[in-house]
Amino acid sequence: MNLVKWIDFQSLGDKRGSLVAVEIGMDKAVPFDIKRIYYIYRTMESVSRGYHAHKNLKQVAICVAGRCRMVLDDGKKRVEVWLDSPTKGLLIEDMVWREMHDFSEDCVLLVLASEHYDESDYIRNYERFRREVLK
């Protein structure tokens, strides 16, 4: 499985500044209906977040300001990418362990989610995640 799936958004900039439109649908950028949007901001640089996987949740993470480092792990391999562009979305599928590190002070991470918030969808123990994803 290719863990790193980028979605490129077109920047509709003009001399006034930049604008990105995110559209959903089969032939559009985001491949699922968005049921929830949240954003993470003012995370301290020394703080790491995430450390979980989701059983049934697809998400697109877009760093609309600043940057952070995202680690993705499918139980077999671990990769890391920098989210540092408002025109690049990272598609995170079900059953992928994620960690977020090295938030810049100005980081605003916007996340589009395919499902409503459900704490029972989280797997917060890495060994349990590996057992479930590798079985």
- From the list 21, 56, 117, 125, which residue makes contact with ligand T46 (rule: CB under 6 A)? 117
- From the list 32, 41, 49, 126, which residue makes contact with ligand T46 (rule: CB under 6 A)? 49
| Residue 130 makes contact with ligand T46 by CB under 6 A | no
With CA atoms as reference, report the closest residue to 10 among 24, 25, 20, 23: 20
| Residue 114 makes contact with ligand T46 by CB under 6 A | no
Which residues within the stretch 14-43 sit at the binding site for ligand T46 (CB under 6 A)? 36, 38, 40
Interface with ligand T46 by CB under 6 A: which residues? 36, 38, 40, 49-50, 59, 61, 98, 111, 117
